[in-house]
Structure 1
Amino acid sequence: MNWWWSVLGGVLLIEGLMPLLLTKAWRNTFERMLQLRDGQIRFIGFISMLFGLFILWLNR
C-alpha cells in the first residue's frame, strides 16, 4: 500500500508543477480542452494510459 501512496504523491507533484510554474499556459490548455469533443478527450486519455503502461513496463 505504501507503493500506491508514493505513486499518487508523485503524480500529484507532477500535475501541480504546470499550474504553479506556467499558470497562463495551463489555463489556455484547459480552455482549448473544453472545446474538444468527448471522443477526442477519450482518445487523449487512452494514449496517456498507454504511455503510462509503457513507462511502467520499462521500469519492471
Structure 2
Amino acid sequence: MMLKNGDEVAAFNMGSTVVLVFQVPISKLVELGNSSLEFEFSIKHGDRIRVGEALGRWHDL
C-alpha cells in the first residue's frame, strides 16, 4: 500500500499520547541573498513536547 503525505497510518485510543513521525529537514539555500540555512532540533530523544512547542529552528550556517 502506498502512502501519501498526510495519510493516517495508525490511531491511538488511550489517553493523549501522540507519535510524531516526519522526515528530518535538510539544509537549504534561501532565495533572498543566497544565504544557507540549517535546521537544528531544540528537543532531545525522550523529551515531552507540549502543544505549540517548537521542535527546532532554522539558523544561518
Q: Which interval holds the TM-score relative to the shorter structure?
A: under 0.3
Q: Which protein is bigger by CA-based radius of gyration?
A: 2
Q: Which has the higher helix share?
A: 1
Query: TM-score scaled to structure 1, two decimals?
Result: 0.22
Q: Which has the higher contact order (CA 8 A, sep 6+)?
A: 2
Give the TM-score taking structure 2 as reference length: 0.22
Q: Which has the higher strand share?
A: 2
